[in-house]
């Protein structure tokens, strides 16, 4: 079996579609099908089941895919290292909305100044999307909140933040110095979307107290939630760092949540089998100093 077979298999596994895989690889559909058949004959296993006109990977395919991604990633980095010796190239970095709005811009500016020959590509999304991207080798590194429950990922702590209640100054609850979860779930809540770390932390805290969440708003945009809170449409639960600027202008105010653990750890994460180039290691080093700067502001 060759790297060509592994690359074709990985693309079919990722797209779950032979036609799409063939188009992405600039190959004919029969050539892709033949490569998968050769793999199955070589290893004596079935890799995909066709169910309702869709491809479904077997357990053998799932195990092979993890190794295929590792082999392809290692080979690609070997090629890049031998050709450019890490003086040129790309580092693909993901960040959650919070860290993409705070730490990542600091990192990107400093990284560009220190290593102008290396392109930094950034993706901002929720934590579950970024974790999947690391496992699919679509990202090299990611800045996340809290440790991810994905055994294939390695994480290193780089800081902390805290969730708080964000509400209009005229809101009745704004008269109190601190709030409880019981008070918050009793009124309209403005929350991040399911899958975001902020939502997961809040759901876990409510579950511990036997409280149910019934959000009035769900949004991937923290700005939208802050504006909704300012219009007294409810109370938003957001990282304090993201609401700090609007709180200073008086658009909203923030209140701590006193009866729940709302602190989150910031981590930089990568796949355990990932080959870390010198550029990636430099970026990880910058994460620590940039996080310290943001926390001091």
How confident is the model over 20-61, as pLDDT tens digits? 999 999 999 999 999 999 999 999 999 999 876 678 899 999
Q: Are 150 and 290 in contact (CB under 8 A)?
A: no
Locate 281 and state its tokens: 């290691």
Delimiting residues of CATH 3.40.190.10 domain(s) in the chain: 83-159+265-296
Question: What fold, for 83-159+265-296?
Answer: D-Maltodextrin-Binding Protein; domain 2 (3.40.190)
Give φ, ψ of 58 to 5 degrees. Answer: -80, 175
Give the pLDDT of residue 238.
Answer: 94
Question: What fold, for 3-69?
Answer: Arc Repressor Mutant, subunit A (1.10.10)
pTM above 0.85, yes or no: no
Return the closest-CA partner of residue 130 out of 187, 88, 92, 160. Answer: 92
How confident is the model over 168-198, as pLDDT tens digits? 999 999 999 999 999 999 889 999 998 888 8
What DSSP letter does each residue of 175-209 carry, written as one string? GSSSB-HHHHHTS-EEEEPTTSHHHHHHHHHHHHT
Delimiting residues of CATH 1.10.10.10 domain(s) in the chain: 3-69
pLDDT confidence band for 275 (50 / 70 / 90): confident
CA angle (254 as vertex; 145, 297 as ends), nearest 5? 60
Look at domain 160-263 and name its CATH class: alpha beta
Delimiting residues of CATH 3.40.190.290 domain(s) in the chain: 160-263
How confident is the model over 51-87, as pLDDT tens digits? 766 788 999 999 999 899 888 888 887 776 666 555 5
Distance CA 163, CA 187 (A): 18
Q: CB neighbours of 246 closer than 8 A, spacing ≥ 6?
A: 166, 226, 230, 252
Q: Is the pLDDT of residue 268 over 90?
A: yes
Give the pLDDT of residue 84.
Answer: 57
């Amino acid at each position: 079996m060759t790297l060509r077979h592994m690359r074709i298999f990985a693309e079919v596994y990722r797209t779950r579609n032979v036609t799409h895989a063939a188009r992405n690889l600039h190959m004919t559909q029969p050539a892709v099908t033949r490569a998968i058949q050769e793999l199955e004959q070589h290893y004596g296993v079935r890799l995909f089941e066709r169910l309702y006109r869709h491809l479904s990977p077997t357990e053998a395919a799932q195990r092979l895919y993890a190794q295929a991604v590792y082999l392809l990633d290692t080979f690609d980095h070997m090629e890049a290292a031998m050709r450019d010796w890490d003086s040129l190239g790309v580092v693909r970095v993901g960040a959650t909305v919070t860290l993409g709005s705070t730490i990542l811009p600091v990192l990107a500016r400093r990284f560009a100044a220190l290593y102008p020959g290396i392109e930094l590509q950034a993706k901002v999304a929720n934590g579950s999307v970024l974790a999947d991207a690391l496992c699919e080798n679509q990202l090299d590194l990611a800045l996340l909140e809290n440790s991810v429950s994905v055994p294939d990922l390695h994480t290193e702590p780089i800081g902390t933040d805290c969730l708080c209640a964000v509400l209009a100054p005229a809101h009745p609850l704004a008269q109190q110095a601190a709030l409880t979860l019981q008070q918050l779930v009793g009124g309209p809540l403005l929350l991040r979307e399911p899958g975001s770390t902020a939502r997961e932390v809040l759901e876990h805290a409510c579950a511990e107290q036997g409280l149910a969440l019934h959000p009035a708003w769900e949004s991937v945009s923290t700005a939208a939630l802050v504006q909704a809170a300012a219009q007294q449409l409810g109370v938003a639960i957001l990282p304090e760092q993201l609401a700090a600027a609007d709180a200073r202008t008086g658009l909203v105010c923030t209140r701590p949540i006193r009866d729940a653990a709302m602190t989150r750890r910031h981590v930089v994460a990568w796949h355990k089998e990932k080959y870390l180039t010198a550029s990636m290691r430099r970026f990880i080093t910058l994460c620590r100093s940039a996080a310290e700067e943001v926390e001091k502001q």
